[in-house]
Amino acid sequence: MSGLTHLDDEGSARMVDVGAKAITARQAVAQGRITMTREAAAAIRAGSVQKGDVLAVARVAGIMAAKKTSDLIPLCHPLPLSKVEIDLTLDEQGVTATATAATAGQTGVEMEALTAVSVTLLTIYDMAKALDKRMTISDIRLVAKTGGKSGDWHA
């Protein structure tokens, strides 16, 4: 086909065989943003959202999501994650989430970092939607990866 590794010679989807690849330390960092009204951001900062501590719950949800990535993305390999870290930066207009995932393995952790960021932001939306139904999730992207055959990459 076109060199896409998740397609066989006939164009059918397949899980890539990584068995012959070397085990290396790998890390990926993904980021995304949720924008909201100043009032919603202030309520999150004050801890006055009725559902509880929005940022603490979102952080745990992101970590849990990273661990379930292969259950959600059909052709992802299950990975033994050695680290999942969620950093949240709250400002007057929303929250920026940064997820770092790491493993020592035969394939990268980009999807785990991206899944962690996505679910973190979705959880913030879920917990604060009573305050602002117009919140917008945006700019979810990979910002860096290290390790593996293709080496390091930074946006």
SS3 98: strand
Residues constituting the chain: 155
- Concerning whether 126 is annotated as a catalytic residue, the answer is yes
Distance from chain centroid for Cα 36: 20
CA distances from 74 to 27, 100, 107, 136 (A): 21, 21, 15, 26
Q: Which of 17, 91, 126, 132 is catalytic?
A: 126
Strand partners, 144: 29, 154
Report the amino acid identity of residue 102.
A
Strand partners, 86: 99
Closest CA to 142 of 32, 24, 6, 67: 32
**Token pair 């929250």 in the structure block, residue:** 95
Annotated catalytic residues are 126
